[in-house]
Structure 1
């Protein structure tokens, strides 16, 4: 068995992901050329669609906001030694709880109270849904991957049943709740900028993006700047040593999954309070599973997750613009591009590591030799 390649942190977290991304784009370019399209034109249109206009940038940030929440949900669980596949279900139940809070109180509470209540309700819903699989693993040994996958299906069925039989607006054929009152609408970024005298196009981007930034900063502070975060990481990386040091693994497991569930539960704030303004059946649309790729590409670090979320947001928005400009480039091709990125940045993340390690070693030896020659010249 080959020994794992050890790289300096700045190479592993900074340079290697960029090389993997470049390799994924190169392979995607070959596929694009094979179907008769110009790879340079495709990449140019994709980047322009994602970042070339205020509207495109806003849509990219809107998609990235959701992926930050689900990516962090995977990362926190990972640092606790768990693989959280349940972000989809946790986001559904969190959104359901946020919507229930809005439907119950939006006509009596002002926005200053209603929106924080929705955030708390969404986080609590995701936390509670994640706590059950966590407890099953901690006290019964049920594997967290299996239980979180199953809980995704249960959450989907629960949401569908409630929308069809309980929450659907009377007289409506659509499977959705009534619209939220104005107090339950998360303000759009364009509305805030308009108050400051800045003209900005109307897009789904809303102030949930600030909540996502706060979540990323909060996760970094918790994991790397608090004693509780250190205990959680200790259990995740060396459970037996942590237990010997007096850290209770079961409660750290519960803590990791409950924080992860709370983060995933905030997806509903971006999608329901920020955009749809009502509870829908498919508001998550695979964001929980995309969060797994975002976390893997971001190396389970908040900074990397934010950058990876921006990448996937750009693929979603740029891909939509690309399929409009070039009809032959379908949404399936965008999914293929995402698959290559996940393949080279996740499953094959360390393929280029040996080559990078050799180049780094050669550069260090060259620098050392140059230093010795300089000292000899001065002598």
Structure 2
């Protein structure tokens, strides 16, 4: 039996969600929410009121489920909260809009510790601030595993939304942000490999280039999306919606130094991480030929008419490659991602 050390203060007991009760969980989850002029009525009432200066509201929603999208042995509650906000914010940026408000539903088992709830709440609050939006409200519910369901509202600021379907033959295909870092970070964690902290951090909490979305819209982007499911998979979505073929330049997709070093350490394929990894939430866009790309964007290919290749085809150096690849929510092999 271990004798307590009188010089070390005892750690306070961690209460569970069941001990906190619904009101206590709500109070803990919203403890970091601060007043915001864009949300004149926030958490605490039957519904929130969010200002919509444009007269139109961009809306997106997404969810993270423990065991399917994250594991607490590979990440922290705060990272989970930040990631839930970041991936939703990327969808708003991918329309050329800016974030205004978020609603968050937290589901958790009755035995979930208050430290987990508090960590998630810190992540949500920080994530919303980083995204330039405010927490407007949400819900709490008992579930079998931790779940975060986020709805985000956005403002187009008077611009037309940039859709998947606007790309035209001759357009330049460009990207802003990292590719393959999240997939590499996950591989590092699963292998228990030390080091590569930057890649691991990107997997735990991607930092989408949110300001690049509105900048692309102002610069005349014809199509825009975020790379959540893998570059090739998301490029195919643009190509199908626009009725085009996308031709990518392999040299412009070369893995960076960190990816090459990580792949060498793990015996993995860095090119595959770049092309199919997903979850970095970089932005992918098409711009008219000859247009000046905004700062931070880099050209990686061109759009072409279907011709000999069917609509929706994406090639790299002329090779179509496999039609599979990238994230698929109903693929059983993705458990714990």
Q: Shared fold (TM-score greater than 0.5)?
A: no
Q: TM-score range by the shorter chain?
A: under 0.3
Computing the radius of gyration from Cα coordinates, the structure with the larger value is 1
Higher percent of residues as helix: 1
What TM-score do the two structures reach when normalised by structure 1? 0.23
Higher percent of residues as strand: 2
What TM-score do the two structures reach when normalised by structure 2? 0.25
